[in-house]
């Protein structure tokens, strides 16, 4: 029987491990973080003038950088952080390609479930009550995301496994996460939501470019915490595998 995750322990570790190994995290994540912030800002300021096809190209570049950043985060948590951070400029390898594939696959699953359930609930509401107001619409979308987050939580363990070069699939992740679905939802959905809302309090209208750059950098730094939570969940749930 799969052990049950200690959500508090994992969440605390997700903050403490990057701090304890902050030199390695800064060194290992500096370049992808700078590139992600630069791309985000460039995209934000040029979005009105970028053709649709170019936007898709930017999505691919953004996804690739995101994959590099997340792979490095997982490896900094699960492997020797000093060894991982020894190379400042990360390389694109088969590992990052497989990781990018899983990002796309899980995003498509998440989007399909959200759209299907939201459409079903809205059509039911239209048939029996009438057109929903904006508040009800937002609540309906949130409810549609809940099962999608559950599924994502059950399957997201493919990310840290892939980052450390394990050849796993979704069936493996589903089996490993049994009895821990809602605990993983707390770590992959509620924790990021709390962090994003806390960071949102720091934003202000008409912020300067310097403020935006700092806040973007802080936001990506905290994303490392969210990745670390998945890494530590994987470590806890694979203890029995490592002991065999």
SS3 sequence, the chain? CCCCCCHHHHHHHHHHHHHHCHHHHHHHHHHHHHHHHHHHHHHHHHHHHCCHHHHHHHHHHHHHHHHHHHHHHHHHHHCCHHHHCCCCCCCCCHHHHHHHHHHHHHHHHHHHHHHHHHHHHHHHHHHHCCCCCHHHHHHHHHHHHHHHHHHHHHHCCHHHHHHCCCCCCHHHHHHHCCCCHHHHHHHHHHHHHHHHHHHHCCCCCCCCHHHHHHHHHHHHHHHHHHHHHHHHHHHHHCHHHHHC
**Is 1 within the bounds of a domain?**
no
The least confident of 9-13, 141-145, 197-201, 238-242 is 238-242
Higher per-residue confidence, 187 vs 200:
187
pLDDT at position 243 is 47
**Mean pLDDT of all residues belonging to the chain:** 88
pLDDT tens-digit series, residues 100-138: 999 999 999 999 999 998 888 778 777 776 666 677 667
Residue 218 within any structural domain of the chain:
yes
Give the least confident one: 8-17, 33-42, 208-217, 218-227: 208-217
pLDDT of residue 183: 96
Residue 27 within any structural domain of the chain? yes
- Return the higher-pLDDT residue of 16 and 242: 16
Of 229 and 91, the structure prediction assigns the larger pLDDT to: 229
244 lies in some domain: no
Report how far residue 182's alpha carbon sits from residue 230's, in angstroms, rounded to the nearest whole number.
13
Q: Is residue 207 part of a domain?
A: yes
Flag whether 81 is in a domain: yes
> How many domains does the structure of the chain reveal?
1
Residue 224 lies in a domain: yes
Kindly report whether the global pTM for this prediction surpasses the value 0.85. yes
Q: Name the residue range of residue 195's domain.
A: 7-239
* Residue-wise pLDDT tens digits, 51-101: 655 567 778 888 999 999 999 999 999 999 999 999 888 889 999 999 999
* 88: in domain: yes
pLDDT confidence bin for 242, thresholds 50/70/90: low
């Amino acid at each position: 029987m799969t052990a049950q995750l200690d959500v508090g322990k994992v969440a605390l570790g997700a903050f403490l491990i990057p701090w304890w190994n902050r030199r390695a995290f800064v060194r290992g994540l500096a370049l992808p973080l700078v590139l992600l912030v630069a791309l985000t800002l460039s995209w934000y300021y040029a979005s009105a003038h970028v053709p649709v096809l170019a936007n898709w190209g930017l999505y691919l570049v953004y996804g690739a950088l995101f994959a590099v950043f997340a792979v490095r985060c997982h490896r900094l948590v699960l492997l020797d952080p000093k060894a991982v951070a020894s190379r400042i400029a990360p390389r694109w390898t088969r590992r990052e390609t497989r990781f990018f594939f899983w990002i796309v696959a899980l995003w498509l699953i998440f989007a399909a479930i959200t759209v299907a359930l939201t459409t079903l609930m809205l059509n039911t509401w239209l048939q029996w009550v009438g057109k929903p107001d904006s508040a009800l619409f937002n609540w309906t979308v949130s409810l549609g995301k809940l099962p999608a987050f559950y599924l994502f939580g059950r399957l997201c363990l493919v990310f840290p496994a892939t980052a450390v070069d394990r050849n796993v699939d979704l069936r493996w992740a589903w089996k490993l996460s049994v009895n821990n679905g809602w605990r993983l939802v707390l770590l992959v959905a509620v924790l990021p939501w709390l962090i994003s809302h806390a960071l949102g309090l720091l934003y202000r209208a008409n912020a300067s470019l310097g403020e935006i750059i700092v806040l973007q950098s802080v936001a990506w730094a905290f994303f490392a915490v969210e990745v670390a939570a998945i890494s530590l969940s994987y470590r806890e749930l694979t203890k029995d595998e490592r002991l065999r």
